[in-house]
Amino acid sequence: MNAQDVLDRLEQVTGSNGKWMARCPAHQDKSPSLAVNEADDRVLVHCFAGCETTDVTAAIGLDLADLFYKKLAGSDLTEGKRRRYEKVLKDESFHVAVINSVERNERPLTTAERERRILGQQRIKKIEGALHEKSSDNN
């Protein structure tokens, strides 16, 4: 899915260069109040009348995950999965940082701590690999 695919489903589209306005499909929109912008990884839609993005996408037969360019590339990395990945990434980065800080400032690490850090580093590497792989699918 890219911005053009979204715009094709909307009416009264005006704008250019990654920023458009269109009639919001989710409410009785007399003057275009739906902003459509191209972000790095997705199409951003925003209704100035206050519609939820999920209502807007549903009204044109899409779901939120369709707004991500990556889905078009045949990726199986859904938004939910990406969010889970990012959460684990954050947690593991935190664990590794804490362990690093103990080693640097307090005392030598125990075997368990060293193993925990290796595990964390492996998880981070794996997730960063998965996230990176998906973004290069676009090329």
Distance (Å, whole) CA 139 – CA 126: 21
Distance (Å, whole) CA 124 – CA 93: 7
* Sole residue written with tokens 């990434």: 89
Total of residues contacting Zn ion (CB under 5 A):
6
Neighbours of 135 (CB within 10 A): 15
Instruction: Provide the minimum distance between the beta carbon of 15 and Zn ion in the complex, in angstroms, as a whole number.
Output: 17
By CB under 5 A, what part of segment 8-47 binds Zn ion?
A: 24, 26-27, 47
Nearer to Zn ion, 49 or 97 (CB): 49
Nearer to Zn ion, 1 or 51 (CB): 51
Distance (Å, whole) CA 80 – CA 109: 35
Nearer to Zn ion, 59 or 73 (CB): 59
Element (H, E) at 37: strand 34-38
Interface mask (CB under 5 A) for Zn ion, residues 47-76, using x and -? Answer: x-x-x-------------------------
Residues that bind Zn ion (CB under 5 A): 24, 26-27, 47, 49, 51
